[in-house]
Structure 1
Amino acid sequence: MTVQTDIFAEWAAQVLAVRSGRWQPERDRAFWHEKAAHYDAGQPPLPNTVAWLRERLTGADSLLDVGAGTGRLTLPLADAAARVTALDHSPDMLAVLRGKGPPAHLDMRCQELADALQDPTLAPHDAVLSAWSLAYLPDLRAALTGLLRLARRDLYLLEDDGLGSPHVTLRRQLAGQPRAQRASSLRRALHALGESPEHRPITEERELTFPDTAALLAQTRLPLPDAEALAFLLPYLTPEGGGWRYRWTFDVHVLHVPVRERP
């Protein structure tokens, strides 16, 4: 007999077990205070994901980007809607977005998501996008219920599903710390709420360059002898000058709830 677990209790337990304590809003804001200035430099572009979303935003009058941060997705999608709201609880991340000169029809809102979902001044939008923004929210039921309420037409949730860069994935495996499969968990949670999300993995590419082998090994920090670490990485490496080009692909998992099709 298959035992059905409570996905919402399971999610909350995983969040509250995070040693950094980032489920506490003040700790998460402190984390982004340190990261904001250099965040964009460490993030890969997501051209395929942006193109896929832009096509599906056709005809949307308004877009709400939850956890918009520095505008990684907000800005390339901004001209797809007449009104755009970028919601984030980090003033430092929104300051970076503001410094990029966003268009006049983009409104920035600095507020905790839990508070925003209860705030009557945050009006529903045709499309709601939440990209990697629910990971540290213990009350997933309330978050998803609130996002569905704010979405007049479409809700898009973007997450990972356990696999990241080859070196980080191996480090976690060797340490016995598999990465959380959040996309699968979100899918289960939506089903528990009576929704039937469409699931679309979108393949993107990440590339890093290193001047020499020492720099490569220092970045990847694999707990292996250098020769073994290099042998593991070799399928992803291309020699370049005296150094290396390190390239891998990864999937962005999109869960799409077409709200307009609800009975």
Structure 2
Amino acid sequence: MTVQADIFGEWRGQVLAVRSGRWRPERDRAFWHAQAARYDAGQPELPNTVAWLRGRLAGADSLLDVGAGTGRLTLPLADAAARVTALDHSPDMLAVLRGKGPPAHLEVRCQELADALHDPGLPPHDAVLAAWSLAYLPDLRAALTGLLRLARRDLFLLEDDGLGSPHVTLRRTLAGQPRPQRATGLRRALHALGLPHEHLQLTETRELTFPDTAALLAQARLPLPDAEVLDILGPYLTPHLTSGGEGWRYRWAFDVHVLRVRGEGA
């Protein structure tokens, strides 16, 4: 019981300490209102993650994507199930999804997750996917147990432990900001709930290109001399020619943590 109190209390404390206050639904909706139009352009593709999920969805009749947003994962997985529900509380993000012309068997549902978990109008699905969707929910216990009630066969949780781009990782280190350990927190929570699960790390890659050194340094925003920044990022950089001269190709690998919990009907 002590372990349970620790992880769920820690998670709640970390969420409520976020300065942006995004644990308040209205604050989070305002954030996505500002981000929706440019969200997709700033996100890497996840081909290895999509391929792995597609393989595990074989034979699933229905899929619920919680925190579906613009359909980053919902749309490439949509043909893996006969019925798909994209759930999100941001009307702006879902508007982008609708603008992509989703298939007829995909239902778009705008609703708070906390409400959806107790809504009899949302039936259980064979598979439930929550990809980076629980970060600002203070009550992690209620979220996980509610999602499991909706998952007949599989619950897939996707997260990371804050190891993103090399420049952001270094920026956090220099600022003395600990990286969020959300994937580890989710694993601890599942253990606390006594839920056996499969855990794996899928490697994806991200690449950015810059027309010149000034653009690269502006992206990095590191409080260090330019030469030192270039030296630190050197292992991830490749010079390449652009119309204006010599630019940079900036490429790194990152891990997606996948937690798979089998439902009662599995």
TM-score past 0.5 threshold: yes
Q: CA deviation at 1:162?
A: 2.4
Q: How does 1:172-187 map to 2 (within 5 A)?
A: 172-187=172-187
> Which one of the candidate residues 250, 259, 263 is aligned to 2:254?
250
Q: Distance in 2 between matches of 1:56 and 1:74?
A: 15
Provide the C-alpha distance between the structure 2 equivalents of 1:92 and 1:101, rounded to a whole number of angstroms. 15
Which deviations, in whole Å up to 9, do the C-alpha atoms of 1:128-176 show, x marking residues without a partner? 0000000000000000000000000000000011211000000001111
Report how far residue 260 of structure 1 moved. Answer: 4.5
1-structure distance, mates of 2:141, 2:49: 26
2:112 aligned partner: 112
Aligned pair 1:219/2:219, yes or no? Answer: yes
Question: Percent identical across equivalent pairs?
Answer: 82
The residue correspondences of 1:61-76 to structure 2 (distance < 5 A) are 61-76=61-76
Per-residue deviation at 1:178? 1.7
Aligned-pair RMSD on alpha carbons? 1.1
Aligned to 2:171: 171
One-letter code of the match for 1:165?
S
Aligned residues: 260
Q: Deviations over 1:217-245 (max 9, x none)?
A: 00111111111111000000000010100
Taking the aligned partners of 1:55 and 1:154, their CA distance within structure 2 comes to 13
Matches within 5 A, 1:19-34: 19-34=19-34
1:87 and 1:186 mapped to 2: Cα distance?
A: 21
Under a length normalisation based on structure 1, what TM-score does the superposition of the two structures give? 0.97
Matched, 1:151 2:155: no
Rounded to whole Å, the distance in 2 between the matches of 1:76 and 1:213 is 35
Runs of 4+ aligned residues of structure 1 deviating over 4 Å after TM superposition are none
Deviation of residue 6 (structure 1)?
1.2
- Pairing 1:1-263 to 2, within 5 Å after superposition: 4=3, 6-241=6-241, 242-260=246-264
Q: Tell me, which stretches of 5 or more residues in structure 2 are unaligned?
A: none
